Chain A
Amino acid sequence: MEAVFLSLVLMLSIFLGFELISKVPATLHTPLMSGANAISGITIVGALLSAGAENPLLATVLGAGAVMFASINVVGGYLVTNRMLSMFKKKDSPSAEDKK
Chain B
Amino acid sequence: MSLESINLWYVLSAALFIFGLKQLGSPATAVRGNGLSALAMFIAVAASLFSAEIISFEWIVGAAALGAVIGAIAAQRVAMTTMPEMVALFNGSGGIASLLVGWAALYNLGNTTFTDITIMLSVIIGGVTFSGSILAWGKLSEVMNSGAWTFGAQRIVNAVIVLALLYSSVMFCMNPAVDSPYLYAVIGLSVVFGVMAVAPVGGADMPVVISLLNSYSGLAACAAGFAINNNILIVAGSMVGAAGIILTNIMCKAMNRSLAHVLFSGFGAAKQATKVEGEVKPINSEDAFLILEAAQSVAFVPGYGMAVAQAQHVVRELGELLEGNGAEVSYAIHPVAGRMPGHMNVLLAEANVPYDQLVEMEDINPRIENVDVAVVIGANDVVNPAARNDENSPIYGMPIINVDQARTVFVLKRSMASGFSGVDNPLFFGDNTRMLFGDAKQSIAAVVAEFKG
The chain A residues found within 8 Å of chain B, CB to CB, are 2-3, 6, 9-10, 13-18, 20-56, 58-93, 96, 98
A15–B28 alpha-carbon span in the complex (Å): 25
**A37 near B30 (CB under 8 angstroms)?**
no
| Given A75-B72, A89-B352: A41 in contact with B239 (beta carbons within 8 A) | no
| Given A71-B63, A72-B90, A76-B72: A31 in contact with B114 (beta carbons within 8 A) | no
A44–B106 alpha-carbon span in the complex (Å): 17
Residues of A near B210 (CB, < 8 A) are 33
**B27 near A28 (CB under 8 angstroms)?**
yes
Pick from B57, B90, B114, B241: contact of A34, CB under 8 Å: B90
Is B17 at the interface (CB under 8 A from chain A)? yes
| Given A36-B218, A49-B54, A79-B72: A13 in contact with B342 (beta carbons within 8 A) | no
**A88 near B349 (CB under 8 angstroms)?**
yes
* A2 CB to nearest B CB, Å: 7
Pick from B27, B104, B218, B227: contact of A88, CB under 8 Å: B27
Q: List 24 A-B contacts (CB under 8 A).
A: A10-B222, A17-B239, A21-B239, A22-B246, A24-B25, A30-B83, A30-B343, A30-B346, A32-B342, A34-B90, A36-B244, A39-B21, A43-B224, A44-B64, A46-B221, A48-B54, A51-B63, A55-B107, A73-B97, A78-B37, A80-B75, A80-B83, A87-B352, A90-B355
| Given A52-B59, A67-B60: A40 in contact with B221 (beta carbons within 8 A) | yes
Is B214 at the interface (CB under 8 A from chain A)? yes
| Given A29-B345, A37-B94, A45-B48: A69 in contact with B100 (beta carbons within 8 A) | yes
Determine chain A's interface SS by DSSP, over half rule: helix
* A30 CB to nearest B CB, Å: 4
Stretch at the interface among B169-177, B228-236, B283-291, B431-439: B228-236
Residues of B near A48 (CB, < 8 A) are 45, 48-49, 51, 54, 60
A96–B73 alpha-carbon span in the complex (Å): 25
Residues of A near B188 (CB, < 8 A) are none
A47–B227 alpha-carbon span in the complex (Å): 12
**B346 near A72 (CB under 8 angstroms)?**
no
Residues of A near B57 (CB, < 8 A) are 52
* B313 CB to nearest A CB, Å: 8
* B252 CB to nearest A CB, Å: 14
A20–B33 alpha-carbon span in the complex (Å): 12
Pick from A14, A31, A47, A85: contact of B100, CB under 8 Å: A47
By Cβ-Cβ distance, the 10 closest A-B pairs, closest first, are: A71-B67, A17-B242, A29-B342, A76-B71, A52-B54, A75-B71, A29-B341, A91-B354, A79-B75, A66-B100
Query: Which chain A residue has the least Cβ–Cβ distance from B83?
Result: A30
Query: Which chain A residue has the least Cβ–Cβ distance from B35?
Result: A82
**B70 near A35 (CB under 8 angstroms)?**
no
A89–B211 alpha-carbon span in the complex (Å): 25
A68–B100 alpha-carbon span in the complex (Å): 11
Residues of B near A34 (CB, < 8 A) are 83, 86-87, 90
Per the CB 8 Å criterion, the residue count for chain B at the interface is 114
**B90 near A76 (CB under 8 angstroms)?**
yes
**B93 near A33 (CB under 8 angstroms)?**
no
Pick from A23, A43, A63, A75: contact of B59, CB under 8 Å: A63
* B68 CB to nearest A CB, Å: 4
Tell me which residues from 84 to 143 in chain B have a Cβ below 8 Å from any Cβ of chain A.
86-87, 90-91, 93-94, 96-98, 100-101, 103-107, 112, 114
**B94 near A30 (CB under 8 angstroms)?**
no
Pick from A38, A63, A69: contact of B104, CB under 8 Å: A63
* B81 CB to nearest A CB, Å: 12
Residues of B near A46 (CB, < 8 A) are 98, 101, 105, 221, 224-225, 227-228, 230, 233
A51–B242 alpha-carbon span in the complex (Å): 29
Residues of A near B232 (CB, < 8 A) are 42, 45
A35–B26 alpha-carbon span in the complex (Å): 13
Pick from A6, A22, A32, A61: contact of B231, CB under 8 Å: A6
**A69 near B96 (CB under 8 angstroms)?**
yes
Query: Which chain A residue has the least Cβ–Cβ distance from B244?
Result: A36
Pick from B26, B67, B237: contact of A68, CB under 8 Å: B67
Pick from A29, A31, A39, A45: contact of B230, CB under 8 Å: A45
A31–B232 alpha-carbon span in the complex (Å): 22
Is B157 at the interface (CB under 8 A from chain A)? no
Residues of B near A78 (CB, < 8 A) are 34, 37-38, 41
A92–B210 alpha-carbon span in the complex (Å): 34
**B87 near A39 (CB under 8 angstroms)?**
no
Is B380 at the interface (CB under 8 A from chain A)? no
**A20 near B21 (CB under 8 angstroms)?**
yes
**A23 near B25 (CB under 8 angstroms)?**
yes
A30–B86 alpha-carbon span in the complex (Å): 11
Stretch at the interface among B273-281, B356-364, B393-401: B356-364
Query: Which chain A residue has the least Cβ–Cβ distance from B249?
Result: A22
Is B220 at the interface (CB under 8 A from chain A)? yes
**A31 near B34 (CB under 8 angstroms)?**
yes
Residues of A near B156 (CB, < 8 A) are none
**A33 near B241 (CB under 8 angstroms)?**
no
Query: Which chain A residue has the least Cβ–Cβ distance from B44?
Result: A45
